[in-house]
Amino acid sequence: MASSRIILKVLLSLCVWSFVIIGLFKMHGTNLVSQEYSAVPLSGRILLQKDILRYAETTSTTTDRFDPSEILVDNRTAMDDDQLVRDVESRIPSLPIAYWSKNKNFRQQKSNTCAKYPSIFELEFNNIYWQTMRTTNGTFQLFGAYYDIRKTSRIGPTVRILGMIDRIQPTVKTYCQFWFDGQKEPFIVKTFEYKYIWYNKWGNYKQGIYQPYLIACQIPKPFHGVVPSSVSMVEKECDTATNNLRVIYNRPPDDQKKGFAVCVKGLDFLYDDLSVRLIEWIEMLNILGADKIYFYNLQVHPNITKVLSHYEQEGKVQVIPLTLPGGQPNVPGFQHLYLTKKTNHKRQNEVIPYNDCLYKNLYLYKYIALLDIDEVIMPKGNFVLWSELMEKVVPESLKIKPEGYNSYNFRNVYFLDDQQHEHGWHKDSPKYMHMLQHVHRAKNYTKPNQYVKCFHDPERVLTLHNHFPLACLGGVCKSYPVNTTDAQLQHYRADCVNTLKKSCEEYRENSVEDKTIWKYKDELIRRTFRTLDTLGFFKRPIGYSNGNGAIGSTTHSSER
């Protein structure tokens, strides 16, 4: 009996302690046996028990097991004001934030001027990169301001402001408030002109649609030789402006210009992975002598972003983010649909990056070319580099017009996709190299001055369009046609442009072989393969990785 009572007491004690332990776990929100666990057959619970115990170990809050420094988060210290200013300036080059930061206390002091320096926090921004001025007759969306002291300009030192106005032939009187370093008060001048960067016969010539303009404000004589820190536009000279643009003046320290810059309009390839073709194109232009390629970026595929970032790190390209101003869409996908369906709006918006690229590089390069990523200005004959080509072209042009030309244009010829497909692949070139594979072109060039591309002389042109200058300094624009025996514009497309649909069959039916590009073949293959390999575009054997895998890459290295 005594032993039975002892056993009973032990059992009761175990029950009590079991309830206490279960209660403690309930208080701490721990469910020892989950519903998923209870539903598992007995034969599988042994493995799950090991997982539960392992989970309990890894969620321990003890600090002797895990070091917080092993967690991969950004542990950089917060930026100070100076660092923030530099970061913002790199993101929005047109914002004079560095000047404002240096002079904000000085600018807050009372002065006798009627115009107040606008705080950067009181500016009206539009779609990130634009600043707004509203007037009694139209709204201005301003993109950039540039210092122009070219000798061929008849109006002397000038600040030119690039933007869009929702008016045709704007009549509203406006003023420019120039802000100079060390000056408490602005110097205010009347706007000199609104230069329309479009022809009304091209369409969209309607009030209420944003139109591209280059606005000029002359710098007053007392300040000739001094670059304004920033400029604001207002309707009444004493208004506090809602815009303030840093005046851009990029000039090499030694005043020695480089040779060639290439400008590429806003990239709109959100759904098209053109990354491999883009690599071939960039490498081709580098071989030809492009010192730098300036890409304006709307929306692109992640692989294109990867390619551009790589070349930007190498210093071969610069990528400038871009949006559409006003109420135009900037949502990915919707923007692409808008630009596809609203062709004239697309063309008018393209004028802005072209001319921004021109004015940022006025004093940096001898020539500026506006090219699409399916176009190459190709030297022919014994010429290899663009510089060699122009050493022949310029003297020849001066024999005809001693005062010189504003630009030098190259005839367009189509290398259509299906012209090559009929002839098969070339075994000594990788299949992924589109231009090297496509060496059959239309026999006939498009007509002179149609769909041409140019080398522009930045000392002589005022505004640029895709194909030629719209306005020039010193009078009417004159463009020299480069002989097709010396060079041509090779245009790689699936089809002709819409306006040439009727002629396209003729181009297809009458083709010739043109292997001009093959004189660069070995070097182009080597460079392109190296970049593709570096960025991880080739499929690898299982277990191999270089840490740079591209999204959705599909090319085998064996195709080389």
Q: What is the pLDDT of residues 138-157, one digit of tens each?
A: 999 999 999 999 999 999 99
* β 469-472/258-269 pair status: unpaired
Share of the chain above pLDDT 90, in %: 72
Q: What is the pLDDT of residue 555?
A: 42
Yes or no: say if 141 and 325 are a contact pair by the CB < 8 Å rule: yes
| CA-to-CA dists, residue 46 to 49, 346, 436, angstroms | 5, 66, 63
Question: What is the mean predicted confidence (pLDDT) over 329-347?
Answer: 96
What CATH number labels 258-535? 3.90.550
Q: What is the pLDDT of residue 41?
A: 47
Q: Model confidence over 496-508: pLDDT tens digits?
A: 888 887 788 888 8
Q: Model confidence over 471-500: pLDDT tens digits?
A: 999 999 999 999 999 999 999 999 888 888
pLDDT of 430 above 90: yes
Domain boundaries, the chain: 86-248, 258-535
**C-alpha span between 451 and 468 (Å, rounded):** 9
pTM of the model: 0.85
Q: What is the pLDDT of residue 226?
A: 96
Question: What is the mean predicted confidence (pLDDT) over 180-192?
Answer: 92
pLDDT of 361 above 60: yes
- Of residues 255 and 394, the one with the higher pLDDT is 394
Q: Model confidence over 102-135: pLDDT tens digits?
A: 887 655 555 667 889 999 999 999 999 999 999 9
pLDDT of 543 above 60: no
Q: Strands, E, within 103-254: which ranges? A: 125-126, 130-135, 138-148, 158-165, 175-179, 187-190, 193-196, 211-218, 230-234, 245-248
94-107 burial, b if ≥16 CB within 10 A, otherwise e?
bbbbebbbebeeeb
Q: What is the mean pLDDT of the chain?
A: 88
